A and B are shown apart, each in its own frame.
Chain A
Amino acid sequence: MSGVDKWFGELHVLQDIDLSIDRGEVVVVIGPSGSGKSTLCRTINRLESIENGEITIDGQKLPAEGKELAKLRADVGMVFQSFNLFAHKSVLENVTMGPIKVRKQSKADAEKRARELLDRVGVGAQADKVPAQLSGGQQQRVAIARALAMDPKVMLFDEPTSALDPEMINEVLEVMVGLARDGMTMVVVTHEMGFARKAANRVVFMDGGRIVESATPEEFFTNPSSDRAKDFLSKILNH
């Protein structure tokens, strides 16, 4: 993405954002609340539109609303802070909906693949329950399986663990680390330093709608170059 600007009314949420992500790269986005991290994530699959600049994915410009956009979104997996599993569908149906409705796979193929994915994220036994019967950690892993079922080119994670009880955070992070190891291209908004150190190729620090710093995890955590990053790190490391 280059030269991206976004306003919410008077508020300039994203200011002249330049960011390019290589295939297979894992980028962690970090920054104070309200700095525009979620918005950045959401512009990448155009859940939010932008006023200026350009976003391209795999050489393709983001199309405007319509069928083309839907096609592009199918290639971009998204995992939300609040899971957003389809409440009226079983876990299995949550994972097969995209492949069946968007990729036009047969039900049998989609279900076979869905069960593999659910096993991979460790919730295979829950396939026939509805989301409300699962713990938060399990729900988020189902959400990851749902996104993976589309064979996305890139996955976006918007604070995937911040709605979880502490004991469930690791089970989700482990799945994500596994994905990173397998070469998935990932953009992850998170404050989990452990994940950033273990899996990220790059840490991007945002503040006030700008990218203030972009560095490797070692550099960023041991020796941040900007004062705002230093200030931010001291706050989150002290609690």
Chain B
Amino acid sequence: MQFLIDNFDLFWDAFLTTLSLSLLACLVALVLGTLLAAMRVSPIAPLRGLATFYVETFRNTPLTVVFFFMIFGLPQIDFVIGFFTGAVLSVGLYTAAFVCEALRSGINSVSPGQAEAARALGLTFGQSLREVVLPQAFRTVVPPLGNVLIAMVKNTSIAAGFSVSELSSLLPRLVNASAGDLTAILVGVVVGYMIITLPSALAVHRIERRVAILR
């Protein structure tokens, strides 16, 4: 305990890094994932193809490889981004593929008659998605989307291997310096992650219950 108090600044900084990395990556993943999902169900074949290609590429590539590409690959073509930005983009672009798939299965769970009725009214493709399909897809999508985002928070730990001083990067550093405090260090790191993921899990639960009643 004393160890944690003594090193509070270190933990706090690392926690903030993990938190901002998670929030920014989450933003990228949600925006891009929604866009990709819209493309995957659009009537325009090239858009569908492009989105499918994206999803399959990122879904089947280990996240470490994505990081490697962002941080060491891009500079090869004279495109240098910082470690932190690289981490945000890696996690965000990678998670977008999973967000897209979660949304898409939600969209498929909405009966096609709903979109048809919307289009028959004269709503454009975008409007019928926005006004009719996505709000209904959202109801079935909350739990799987929650899982994707919680997994994402944990995936930010890969940034430790790429010079980002986030929570899990404390492990090798502190354990090397003070092996006797291993338990305290582990507890500190785990609690840090839980402060981010537990409220998210709780929120998912709440939203899930709310929409269940609405139905």
Taking beta carbons and an 8 Å cutoff, which residues of B are in contact with A? 43, 111, 113-114, 116-125, 127, 131-132, 135-136, 139, 214-215
Contact = CB atoms under 8 A, between A and B. Distances in A.
B122 A71 contact: yes
Return the 3 tightest CB-CB contacts between A and B, nearest first.
A74-B122, A84-B117, A84-B113
A65 to B, nearest CB: 6
Interface of B is mostly: helix
Interface string A63-77: 001010011111111
A98 B43 CA distance: 21
Q: Is the interface of A mostly helix, strand, loop or mixed?
A: mixed
Nearest to B119: A73
Contacts of B122: 70-75, 98, 102, 150
A47 B123 contact: no
Contacts, number: 64
A75 B124 CA distance: 14
Contacts of A80: 113, 116-117
Given A73-B122, A78-B117, A78-B120, 4 more contacts: A67-B124, A70-B124, A72-B122, A102-B127
Interface residues of A, number: 29
A71 B119 CA distance: 10
B117 A86 contact: yes
Nearest to A94: B117
A231 to B, nearest CB: 32
Given A65-B43, A80-B113, A88 B135 contact: yes
A35 interface: no
A187 B71 CA distance: 62
Nearest to A72: B122
B116 A101 contact: no
Interface string A140-159: 00010011001000000000
